[in-house]
Amino acid sequence: MQIHQELELEPFGSPEVQPPEQARQVAGERINLSHLDRMTDSTGLIQHAIYSIPRRESGYTTDDNARALRLCARLWGRQPNVRMLGRVTTFLSFLEHARCPVRGFHNFLSYQRDWLDAAGTGDCQGQAVLALAEVLGSGLPEGFRSLARELIESVLPTLADLRSLRAEAYVILAWGQLVSAGVDDVESFENVARAAARRLVECYQRSKRADWLWFESRMTYANAVLPHALFSAARCWPNESYLDVAVESFNFLARVTTVDDVFWPVGNCDWYPHDEAKSLYDQQPVEASTMAEAALAAFAATGSEDCRQNFQRAHRWFHGENSLRLPLADVDCGACCDGLVPGDVNRNQGAESTLALLWTELQHANIRNTVGVDCGVHLAGD
């Protein structure tokens, strides 16, 4: 197994290499939704951008609109104003429209409002139900919660048939969200989520080797959602072996994505097959965001200081503490560049990247509030 530990970085403490000013600022004090609003029209959230300008020809995806719904539903609980409710309405309406008459949710919608797929991917189903669980477990108006419940119940047969590990992980996280919110009466959902958790463990046991403590024969995208889901499963069903697998796999992921105390995720060029070198680029914001959230779940389960440090590394990746010493976050408008390519930043600021930043900043703000620091969640323009 090759992890590329030979790629050494100059320490940030040295006078020659200092993080940019944004990295030294306390991020998370202000969650700015200006770019999210710029990327959103009356239909929903546009998928891609050219620099900071919405690229209309890219259309919309249920994946992105589900992520936006989850974020705004969570933020509405902190600032329940008319503008935030309007955002929630737009994104929830998109998911309702995405409901496929045959199976689950569509994913790709053209700018002309034509669905481009017969049915969405497994990951799309998982992202959608996770966002709907956020709505159902929230204090949003009853009509919003009732629609979320109806949509979840309508796609349960599709969720039961999912075999994408990440899709199943999102289903587990959705059930965990409902349990945390005290909403545990969604018919058959617990059985679907519990079966998904058991399949994750089975895949892990089949794939793991002495030098490869992972669920698949290669690491690809959004890797951290897999151990994160099992931390959630361990809370829901503590008598099963989910916690052991969650801790072991999370620690392995943290080890292979940390170089000289800097978060260095698996690149999407060739991913990271077992017994081969880890792809170094392109590094995507979704990796940092999912790692940060998983690290918080790991910290809650274990209390390990290492987990807290893993969160900090993933969070700081957005602000310049990364392999290129370049910030991806635009704190003035809440946008995020689309990733790190060899030697530079991808300057486009698409939906997935921006939502990855905003969700991570929200988690960071939660931590600061928990320890009694008055940072709040200040929403620009609201």
Task: Quick: pLDDT tens for 279-299.
Answer: 999 999 999 999 999 999 999
Residue, of 373 and 99, whose pLDDT is higher: 99
pLDDT at 366: 86
Distance (Å, whole) CA 222 – CA 271: 11
pLDDT at 382: 62
* 307 belongs to a structural domain: yes
C-alpha distances (whole Å) from 35 to each of 92, 353, 354, 380 are 19, 11, 8, 11
DSSP secondary-structure letter at 115?
B
- Confidence (pTM): 0.91
* 144 belongs to a structural domain: yes
Which CATH number do you get for residue 290?
1.50.10.10
pLDDT at 187: 76
Taking only the tens place, the pLDDT of each residue in 254-278 is: 999 999 999 999 999 999 999 999 9
Distance (Å, whole) CA 245 – CA 215: 10
Residue, of 282 and 102, whose pLDDT is higher: 282
Per the structure, the count of domains in the chain is 1
* 1 belongs to a structural domain: no
Kindly indicate the confidence band of residue 163, based on its pLDDT and cuts at 50, 70 and 90.
very high
Amino acid at 2: Q
Residues in the chain: 382
What value does the mean pLDDT take over residues 320-349?
98
Torsion of the alpha carbons at 195, 179, 137 and 135, rounded to the nearest 10: -30
* 7 belongs to a structural domain: no
* 14 belongs to a structural domain: no
- Does 9 score more than 60 pLDDT? no
What value does the mean pLDDT take over residues 305-318?
98
pLDDT at 240: 84
* 224 belongs to a structural domain: yes
Distance (Å, whole) CA 201 – CA 106: 29
Average per-residue pLDDT for the chain: 91
Residues 59 and 43: beta-carbon distance below 8 Å: no
Amino acid at 290: T
- Does 146 score more than 60 pLDDT? yes
C-alpha 77: how far from its chain's center? Answer: 19
- Does 17 score more than 70 pLDDT? no
Q: Which domain holds residue 228?
A: 23-379
Kindly indicate the confidence band of residue 380, based on its pLDDT and cuts at 50, 70 and 90.
low
Distance (Å, whole) CA 225 – CA 173: 9
Kindly indicate the confidence band of residue 379, based on its pLDDT and cuts at 50, 70 and 90.
low
* 46 belongs to a structural domain: yes
Residues 348 and 330: beta-carbon distance below 8 Å: no
pLDDT at 372: 40
- Does 46 score more than 90 pLDDT? yes
- Does 14 score more than 50 pLDDT? no
Show contacts of 212-217: CB within 8 Å, 24+ apart. 212/1, 212/252, 212/274, 213/248, 213/249, 213/251, 213/252, 214/249, 214/252, 214/253, 214/274, 215/165, 215/249, 216/165, 217/273, 217/274
Distance (Å, whole) CA 224 – CA 292: 8
* 344 belongs to a structural domain: yes
pLDDT at 203: 98
Taking only the tens place, the pLDDT of each residue in 184-203 is: 888 799 999 999 999 999 99
Distance (Å, whole) CA 190 – CA 172: 9
SS3 of residue 333 by DSSP: coil
- Which residues are paired to 156 by β-bridges? none
